[in-house]
Amino acid sequence: MKNIVILLSCILIGACNPPADKTEGIEQDSSLSIEELLKNSKIEKGKAQIKELNAALICNGRIEIPPSDNISIHSKSDGYITKINYLPGEYVKKGSLLLSIENPSIIEKQRLFLETKADFQLAEKELARKTELKEKEATSSREYDAVLSKYNRLMATYNGLKSELQNIGINVSRLSSTSYQNSIGIFAKTSSYVSSVDVNKGQYITAETLLMQLASNSHLHLELKIFDSDAARVQIGQKVTFNINSSSTEFNAEIVHINPVLDAKDGSLKIHCHFEDNEELKAGMFVQAVILTETEHVLALPKAAVLKEGNEFYGFKVQENEVEKIALHNVKSNDQWITSVEIQDSLNQWITKGSYYIGEVESTHSH
């Protein structure tokens, strides 16, 4: 009976203990020797350091021009387009001739203006003569009042026609009975860029027709959109970093205005930011931005200490003579440092440089 019990016990003990070679294989896959790793001069170990990190709010936006710098060009008179001097994208100096327009009816207005001008000048002389006679009591008040009334009526007509012609672009000081202006010039009132030309030569236009659009890039700004749920995290003065698709450069901006009214279409909040002038930045460009919100002091590791695999982050924690790969959660970072919940123990030691090379070693071991 004893022999049976002893034999059964041996079988049970054997079943509860896995083979030695399999156990050793599992231990080798889960950790790496720190002594072997530090033979690589590109790998270093140390403790996490206290750093100031900003929590970040990621959002999208666009570089825009303020409405005051977007200029729509219209004509104040109907007519036919006879000349277009600029193409989209070209720079226009203040006072430059943009387009020319012809309209036969403006000849008639100029003729009427010149006739009224001649009558007004004559009435002016007649009033001066009647005023002198009145002072000498050589004319009646009735005759004087009639001349004064005619003078005032012609002056009103003259000034009205003059303003009307000047308003549509006629230089009245150059008009004479033998010289009429048969075309109207439309000039740039500010230096800017041509963003679009919306008519063609020979086209008949009215005062409502959009002829051209100009845009000044002297006041470019960054317009960001955030969700209403993030509104409490954003305030004026916060720093912003952003990138454009066509450049690897990181640009800096600052929040200067927060629109207090939510967008009725998507419930977003618009954030107005200013940045320094840069030739790479053009109106209409879409950007990816990071608003640096709350500041906190935390234990952090250099970015070179952390390995990123897909959307996951890993650190390498030093445990006695071994290195253990640890998944990091609630990760926050800036351009140099990275932190997580797992890093907040000041007694722990970590690989602080060369995580990439440890990843290569780990990959080799796993094969």
Taking residues 228-257, report their average pLDDT: 89
Instruction: Among 258, 273, 295, give the residue marking a domain's end.
Output: 295
Domain final residue pick, 177, 198, 215:
215
pLDDT at 161 > cutoff 90: yes
> Averaged over 139-147, what is the pLDDT?
88
Same-domain check for residues 286 and 348: no
Residue 266 has a pLDDT of 84
- Do 291 and 236 fall into the same domain? yes
pTM of the model: 0.57
Residue 22 lies in a domain: no
Instruction: Provide the CATH number for the domain around residue 327.
Output: 2.40.420
The answer to whether 300 and 339 are in contact (CB under 8 A) is yes
Percent of the chain with pLDDT over 70: 88
234 with 351, same domain: the answer is no
Number of domains, the chain: 3
User: 84 with 179, same domain?
Assistant: yes
Confidence of residue 12 (pLDDT cuts 50, 70, 90): very low
The least confident of 122-126, 201-205, 305-309 is 305-309
Between 95 and 174, the higher pLDDT residue:
95
Full domain range(s) for residue 327: 32-56+297-366
Domain finish residue from 247, 266, 295: 295
User: 26 in a domain, yes or no?
Assistant: no
Burial code (b: 16+ CB inside 10 Å, e: under 16) for 233-261 equals ebeeebebbbebeeeeeebebebeebeee
Tell me the average pLDDT across 315-328: 87
What CATH number is given to the structural domain containing 135? 2.40.50.100
Q: Per the domain annotation, does 19 fall within a domain? A: no
Mean of the per-residue pLDDT values for the chain?
84
- pLDDT score for 168: 86
Q: Is 23 part of any domain?
A: no
Residue 15 lies inside a defined structural domain of this protein: no
**12 falls within a domain:** no
* Same domain as 211, residue 231: no
